[in-house]
Structure 1
Amino acid sequence: MKKIDFNADWEYEVLTNRAEHPGREKITLPHDAMLHEKRTENSPGAQNTGYFEGNDYLYCKSFWVPENWREKHILIEFEGIYRNADIRLNGEQIYCRPNGYMQFLLSLDDRLQYGKENTIEVYVKNSDQPNSRWYSGAGIYRPAWLYVGEKSAVEPENIRITTVKTSPAFVKFEIYAQAPCRITLEIGHGLQDDEVYFITESKDSDECGNVALLIKVENARLWSAENPYLYRYRITAGADVSTGTFGIRELSWDAEKGFCINGVRTILKGACIHHDNGLLGACCYPDAEERKVRLLKETGYNAIRSAHNPCSKALLDACDRLGMLVLDEYTDMWYIHKTRYDYALYMENQWEKDLLDMVNKDYNHPCVVMYSTGNEVAETAQEKGIELTKDMTAYLHRLDRTRPVTCGVNIFFNLLSSMGFGVYSDKKAEDTSPKKKAVGSEFYNRLAGMVGDTFMKMGACLHGCDVKTRDAYENMDIAGYNYGILRYRHDLKKYPKRLILGTETFCRDAAKFYEIAEKHPRILGDFVWAGMDYIGETGVGAWEYEDYAPKNAPKSHWLTAGSGRIDITGKPLGEALYTKVVYEQEKGPFLAVRPVYQTGKHSPSAWKMTDAMESWSFRGCEGKRAEVEVYTRESAAALFLNGRKIAKKKRKKDCRIRFTVPYENGCLKAIVYDEAGEEAGCCELITAGATTCLLMIPEKSTVRPGELLYVRLRYTDEKGILKPMEHHRMQISVTGGKLLGFGNACPCNPEGYLNSYADSYYGEALAIIQAQQADTIVARANDGSLEQEIQVPVISG
């Protein structure tokens, strides 16, 4: 079917609290209405949603339908509308969907007015707050499409591609056309745009339009995280044509070999991510999704967990191309409310439909290697919930026998909940008073903040935790452990057939996990919380100081969690350097230093291992205590300052060696040594010079219309060395493109990302520009003293 972009020329308006909003506005999808709302301490979503208020919205679009479409098959697709979408065509309601993260396709046949203007309206209800434990966004935040085909058309989700075996390679195509017809399948190499196909096979469908083709692919190139090779296909059904890509790969999982791709054991070195795209809010742009995947891959991760909702199609496309494995997760709650108006209202009646749509989205993507039915659902400790675990696992097996099923269970929380501590309940969810007691994950997070991660991990070792999880684990293919690493060795012995996955873990445990996993194939992988910072759950992973987060600042100034190994602007932090070494992405060594000029800490967090950064530029701090970290897998490291040896230390089990030294300007150098005492590598940090410059650094040298251009603004010296102590307000102006977002990575951020001004944070900020139909994007920045300009060509065609 022909895919038509349906994202331009929409209008939207706010239906509640109208006095505070303008009338209808013209917009282009994707659009996050919540990002444009006020942030107040009175927001019912409070810290969970970044203090944004929620409202109801109307989106509408008029479009011409040619007379000759009467003989066509017409579909409309919305990839995601948050939430309670009510779709109306020419005033008639045609569909409702409460789930805010599911894509859906609607047939418009016999509903359109041919040879006339048609109007589609989308009503969105997000005023029933709170309904999420993180920033959800609102509105039509993912793309929309029209599909136009012949009456014999093959709809986008009516193609199933299954690798039957890999040596030799056999691939099964199951194709469902709308009417009986002759179906021709062609297969070509890679993503190239030529019309060369090396396999062609035709077959008549049955009377229902269905056909199955078993194709042998000679000398097949297999898809894996290391070599993500894609084939392309073209399917002709009568006069209708459909195209796409697929990968040839085979999954297996057992107690002897662990988790294997194409027969090779693969340890999942994973990161949890939320669905927002940082400064863009919930808006789903392919460029933003691909950048997120690329940054995580460069950090050493080979897998992501879509916490805690199904991910976008654009993210899966990027993961297919870049070789990122995906654990796609269904939901954050089952039948017990975590927040007053959350999806527990609908889950019991909707889960079969939701899981079907999730599988339809995922099935042909080689990157998707596992499904998760939920996250930290205390129902897994109840008889009803244990049965539901079994039902959902069995249902997913019926839909897709090629992938295993897990569920992220917070082991200690299941026990605490059964004892009445922090338990979720519908009654507690209805309590919206300021003195409301924390429950569930919020209770658990606060506990972690007070007593640290060791207490939680030790708590997970209690016998009662085993009692309250073992029955649910029996009803999964793979047992999902949230913060249960200290149980691994015990449970490997007690349950000799259990496969264990760290579905949520702490950064500081990465080296310990990897050591255990390399020895025990039944430890399949680890997903750190979190790979990249996100909006909402404000401050839960932050480690801020008073210059950026004043003690008397209103709560609503907090915007992001601060939990990422990569910050909200996409900058890898010291923890990302540590991760690269742990997962052997790069040998290192790497040097990082905690900000010398800062004193005290705002909010110690179990989810923050360190706030060290890759800098030795702290002029004016001479003589102050500097805390230095060296990340290496070698046996020992020595630290040198301006040529003087400060100390030499052996590495313990972790990949982090820490030193303290009085700060002085100059050169900080680390040399690492192997077990034989031989020098095995070095790295150094140089203090920036006295002169300060403002740089604008685009991430691309050219862009096409509609693409995103990320531009990093940095205060440096004349050699480009970052100066993290520079803290200034910058103004930006853009021609040839639209400024979509501008801001910094500080979790305490009162101004958000929609202004043309922003403060620098440790010397940096980020601008996101969408290219328009112009020859060049010109962006100018100034802070009243320094000014900079860049020009980036826009390439058409």
Structure 2
Amino acid sequence: MKNLLTIIIILLSTTLFAQRSKSRVTTNFDSNWQFSLGDTPNASKADFNDDSWRTLDVPHDWSIELENDKEAPGGGNVGFFPTGIGWYRKTFDVPKFDAENNYSIEFDGIYMNSEVWVNDVYLGKHPYGYSSIYYDLTGILKPEGNVIAVKVDNSKQPNSRWYTGSGIYRHVRLVATKKLHFEKYGIFYYTKSVEEGKATLYLKTSIQNDNPGAIQEVTIENVLLDANGKKVASIKKESTIKGNSSLSFEQEMEVPSPELWSVASPYLYTLKSTISVDGKESDCVYTNVGIRTIEYHVDNGFLLNGKQVKMKGVNLHHDGGAVGAAVPERVWERRLEILKEGGCNAIRTAHNPMAPEFYDLCDKMGFLVMDEAFDEWVHGKRDYAYQLYFEDWYERDLKAMVYRDRNHPSVVMWSVGNEVPDQSSEEGPEIARALINICHEADPTRLVTAGNDRIAADDNPASEAYLAEYQNDIVGYNYPDRWHDRRELYYHEDKTNYPNRRVVATESTGMGGYRGNYNLGDDPEKVNARYAYGRPLDVEGRWKYTLLYDYVIGDFMWTGIDYYGESWRWPFRGASSGYLDNCGFKKDGYYFFKSIWTEDPTLHLLPHWNLEGREGQILPVIAYSNCDTVELFLNGKSYGAKYLEFPRKGNAERWNKPEEGKVYTTTSDLHLSWDVPYEPGELVAVGRKNGKEYTYRLVTAGAPAQIRLSVDQEKIMADPTDVAHVTVEILDKDGNRVPTADNLVQFEVEGAKIIGVESGNMRDLSSPKGKERKAFNGLCMAIVQAEKGGKITVKAVSEGLTSDSITIKAE
């Protein structure tokens, strides 16, 4: 059955979607653009002939369509993908055009240095590629034959440390309103209090009257609807407004017996805000509302609705793997589903604002978001990065993020920077103060942080002054596990010296590495599980500390998902630091975090058991588990049962007592390990938790013999926001996945199109926009999108293997 979350989002974003308001008409503007790669003289002119240009829909990322190039100007920073200059043009009519209306166009993101013209009128330039942008078209549009031209200049490289994509890579909308309307981002709410069976919402409503005439009598009404559309509260305000002026109202609304928004139960209301004149609607805006309270306590960490919640977080970049930076909503939804399943409850948007629909998903799925604005301030990290524009644009870009995102209940913290060199500069404290003040003025409810590298590793007075600006907010620590030996147990010394400091690990070492790759080396005496299996030294120790000490707000590992870019050598296209690869396939580290982040029974073994040539070698076998005990068997022989001494605060008695007559060994680590002489066959772990038994099995697979397909959803919408992820597994004749298989798989699709292929192998330079992919350690994927309703058939074939096919229905 189609996921309800995706249906909701699609219904709100489909082309010329059904309006809930007759007074405000929002038209999806994504379809039928003309595109040309390269700088084209006179392409801004309305009468320019673009007949030879390519027709496409946005969101569009042209970089992902191009071949990786060792000499690409952006180099490994952007994954050796080419960038350059591109032009977009669109000729359009305005149905039911009304010269008395206001019109505007909204771009959710253009990377980067975009310039926009409509009907030969220059609207402006915006350097930052992650800001939402809007331009007033009032007085410029006509009923028919309008022409918009957009130049995108991503040619100056390097301008980023990670893959950015190039183009109009997020959604576009055309908006029509009456002259009397709500200001852009003119509806702001927050939960003022929750007590005695009621909640009090603060509402600030800002309206604009562009009529030049006399004073108007207006009525502003806010109605709160529950998830079933039933009215639960309302409040009205009557006032007068002069022509060519604006007006703001501050009100409080009482909500009886509120359903609170939380990570476990992300309940959403809808706020319907209307402006009326003489009983006739002039504007109407709908806002999702999550009623919840947040507090950051110096001793008890983060409190959501009065209860402590530890942020179990990941950093995420904005690319979607094979689809590049133009990411259909379902791609993000599936990724978030997998993260949620593993116990992740928090996300840092590293290191820029994400697309608006990303926050909608976080609202609906129950994630806590640290919303981050910049990677550079005045002092940059790459020659052509944001530092070139910071002084002129930082206030506009930061306000654009905060005003746009402040109504999302998922957003619980602002971040204004990441490892900025300005931390140690004389102007750093002044810049930090200015950024914090902007956030507080736009939103008095959330605190502000920044990711700070080696936060107290030196005695630079400028650094101390810089950190002092965050003393009353939140000090963010990047990689406390890299330098804690100099600072005594992570945050401990700093917390002792600054007892009122609130602390969070904005970025810390994760459990990355290539999925299914193990560095076992050639010397049996030097196989060390700590390094062979990609488990960094301090992840376990850091998480013990994080879980035990209440004052630590949480921890955001680098990263949740692999991403393109930030590759330091050819031919690697990206970074493998995620605990999911860029297909969303789970790595071993995923199960480590699931075992400590959830109470769901978790049991996982590594490495795989296809290790030909290592017969007789003693190898460490690792189990990530939260079972009470785990016993390991190889070909029926027991290698003993073990249990963890897991020092979770308030949960010291979580393990059952060992069974009488059995010998158990303990560990101070958060994993279990056995030394086992390798022999092919069957490796089995038997876990026991709360009286129930769980089994995890690895076998030595045979030669690749067949393909097995599976899909994340059997029904999809014939809409650009929706996709199906088709997973390919390479199996032996007995149906066991072959963990070393690298067969070339070709896809045949009827009734739809493939928009991306991937395997998680960052060294595979074949096109993500092709129709074939080599499996990587037994897996690869195709992402399928429907353009019309009907039956979709996907078939995967590979020489020497039995093929497989799967059917999907498009509605």
Give the TM-score taking structure 1 as reference length: 0.84
Deviates more, 1:644-653 or 1:577-586: 644-653
Q: Matches of residues 239-638 of structure 1 in structure 2 within 5 Å?
A: 239=281, 240-411=283-454, 462=457, 464=458, 469-476=463-470, 477-485=473-481, 486=484, 487-507=490-510, 508=536, 509-538=538-567, 555-593=569-607, 615-617=608-610, 623=616, 626-633=619-626, 637-638=630-631
Higher mean Cα deviation, 678-687 or 734-743?
678-687
Q: Quick check: 2:121–2:140 contact (8 Å CA) kept in 1?
A: no
Matching residue of 1:199: 233
Q: CA deviation at 1:205?
A: 4.1
Question: Shift in Å at residue 748 of structure 1?
Answer: 0.7
CA distance in 2, matches of 1:333, 1:153: 36
Instruction: Measure how far apart 1:199 and its partner are.
Output: 2.8
Deviates more, 1:167-176 or 1:178-187: 178-187
Deviation at 1:580, TM superposition (A): 0.3
Closer/same/farther in 2, CA of residues 692 and 154 from structure 1, 3 Å limit: same
The 8 Å contact of residues 204 and 211 in structure 1, kept in 2 or not, is answered as no
Give CA-to-partner distance per residue, 1:507-558, whole Å, 9 cap, x none: 244433333233333211111011100001126xxxxxxxxxxxxxxx5431
> For residue 705 of structure 2, what is the amino acid of its counterpart?
T
Matched with 1:427 is none
Structure 1 residue 153 displacement after superposition? 2.7
Match of 2:64 in 1: 35
Q: Distance in 2 between matches of 1:790 and 1:682?
A: 29
Distance 2:178 2:95 in 1: 14
Partner of 2:21: none
Root-mean-square deviation (CA, aligned residues, Å) is: 2.4
Partners of 1:248 and 1:491 in 2: how far apart?
34
Q: Indicate yes or no: 2:202 matched with 1:172.
A: yes
- Measured against aligned partners, the alpha-carbon deviations of 1:71-111 in whole angstroms (never above 9, x if no partner) come to 22222110000001101101211121111000022221111
Match of 2:771 in 1: 756
Q: Aligned partner of 2:250: which letter?
A: A
Q: 1:787 aligns with which of 780, 791, 803?
A: 803
User: 1:505 deviation in Å?
Assistant: 0.5
Correspondences of 1:713-792 after superposition (within 5 Å): 713-717=728-732, 720-785=735-800, 786-792=802-808
Worse-matched range after superposition: 195-204 or 170-179: 195-204
Letter of the structure 1 residue corresponding to residue 803 of structure 2: E
- Given the alignment, which residue of 186, 191, 194 partners 1:163? 191
Distance 1:721 1:100, change over 3 A: same
Cα distance in 1 for partners of 2:417, 2:442 equals 17
Corresponding residue SS for 2:467: helix
The structure-2 alpha-carbon separation of the partners of 1:90 and 1:220, relative to structure 1 and needing over 3 Å to count, comes to same
Is the contact between residue 113 and residue 153 of structure 2 (CA under 8 Å) also seen in structure 1? Answer: yes
For 1:189 and 1:654, how far apart are their aligned partners in 2? 46
**Gap change, CA 1:585 and 1:11, over 3 Å in 2:** farther
Instruction: Report if the CA contact (8 A) 1:637-1:651 is conserved.
Output: no
Q: Which moved more, 1:247-256 or 1:148-157?
A: 148-157
Matches of 2:96 and 2:294, distance apart in 1? 48
> 161-170 or 504-513: which moved more?
504-513
Aligned equivalents of 1:373, 1:585: Cα separation in 2: 34
CA distance in 2, matches of 1:585, 1:511: 17
Could you tell me which residue of structure 1 aligns to residue 273 of structure 2?
Answer: 235
TM-score (norm 2): 0.82
- Separation of aligned partners in 2, 1:62 and 1:102: 25
Cα deviation, residue 270, structure 1: 0.6
Bigger shift: residues 684-693 or 497-506: 684-693
- Indicate how the Cα distance of structure 1 residues 746 and 65 shifts in structure 2: closer, same or farther if over 3 A, else same: same
2:223 maps to what in 1?
186
What's the CA shift string for 1:433-453, capped at 9, x where partnerless? xxxxxxxxxxxxxxxxxxxxx
Identity of aligned residues (%): 30
Is the contact between residue 635 and residue 651 of structure 1 (CA under 8 Å) also seen in structure 2? no
Of stretches 197-206 and 394-403 in structure 1, the one that deviates more from structure 2 is 197-206
**Given residue 497 of structure 1, which amino acid in structure 2 is its aligned partner?**
N
Does the aligned pair in 2 maintain the 1:492–1:522 contact within 8 Å? no
8 A Cα contact 1:617 1:722, kept in partner: no
Which of the numbers 636, 639, 657 marks the counterpart of 2:632? Answer: 639
The change in CA–CA distance for 1:651 and 1:134 in structure 2 (over 3 A counts) is farther
Q: Does 2:99 align with 1:56?
A: no
- Using the TM superposition, give the Cα deviation of residue 216 of structure 1 relative to its aligned residue in structure 2, in angstroms: 0.8
Deviation, 1:727, is 1.5
CA contact (8 A) 2:234 2:253 kept: no
Among 225, 248, 267, the alignment partner of 2:263 is 225
Report the CA distance between 1:728 and its aligned residue: 0.8
Residue 166 of structure 2 aligns to a residue whose secondary structure is coil
Match of 2:527 in 1: none
- 8 A Cα contact 1:39 1:556, kept in partner: no
What do residues 339-365 of structure 1 show as CA deviations (whole Å, max 9, x unaligned)? 111110011221111111011111110
Residue of structure 1 in register with 2:253 after alignment: 215
Match for 2:391: what amino acid? E
Q: Helix, strand or coil for the counterpart of 1:166?
A: strand
How far apart in 1 are the matches of 2:475 and 2:804? 53
1:663 is matched with which residue: 674, 678, 682?
Answer: 678
Give the equivalent residue in structure 2 for 1:426.
Answer: none
Name the structure 1 match of 2:9.
Answer: none
Please say which of residues 204-213 and 515-524 is displaced more in the overlay: 204-213
SS of the residue 1:513 aligns to: helix
- Verify the 8 A CA contact 2:223 2:273 in the aligned structure 1: yes
Query: 1:34-183 alignment to 2 at 5 Å?
Result: 34-66=63-95, 68-113=97-142, 115-155=143-183, 157-167=185-195, 168-179=198-209, 181-183=218-220
Question: 2: CA distance between counterparts of 1:685 and 1:638?
Answer: 14
Secondary structure in 1 matching 2:427: helix
Contact 1:224/1:249 (<8 A) preserved: yes
Are the structure 2 counterparts of residues 733 and 105 from structure 1 closer, same or farther at C-alpha, using a change threshold of 3 Å?
same
Structure 2 counterpart SS, 1:383: coil
TM superposition shift of 1:406: 0.5
Shift of 1:688: 4.2
Q: Residue 425 of structure 1 aligns with which residue?
A: none
Listed one character per residue, the Cα deviations across residues 560-581 of structure 1 (whole Å, up to 9, x for unaligned) are 2111100010011100000101
1:664-715: CA deviation from partner (whole Å, max 9, x where unpaired): 34331224579x9x99755333444667320111100101111111111111
Gapped runs of 5+ residues in structure 2? 1-23, 42-50, 210-215, 485-489, 511-535, 643-664
| Separation (CA, whole Å) in 1 of partners of 2:540 and 2:699 | 29
Q: Deviations over 1:21-41 (max 9, x none)?
A: x96211111100111233222
Q: Distance in 2 between matches of 1:629 and 1:117?
A: 66
**CA deviation after TM superposition for structure 1 residue 634, in Å:** 5.5
In structure 2, distance between residues paired with 1:201 and 1:121: 43
Letter in 1 for 2:728: L
- How do 1:687-698 residues align onto structure 2 when only pairs under 5 Å count? 687-688=700-701, 692-698=705-711
Q: Amino acid of the residue matched to residue 796 of structure 2?
A: A
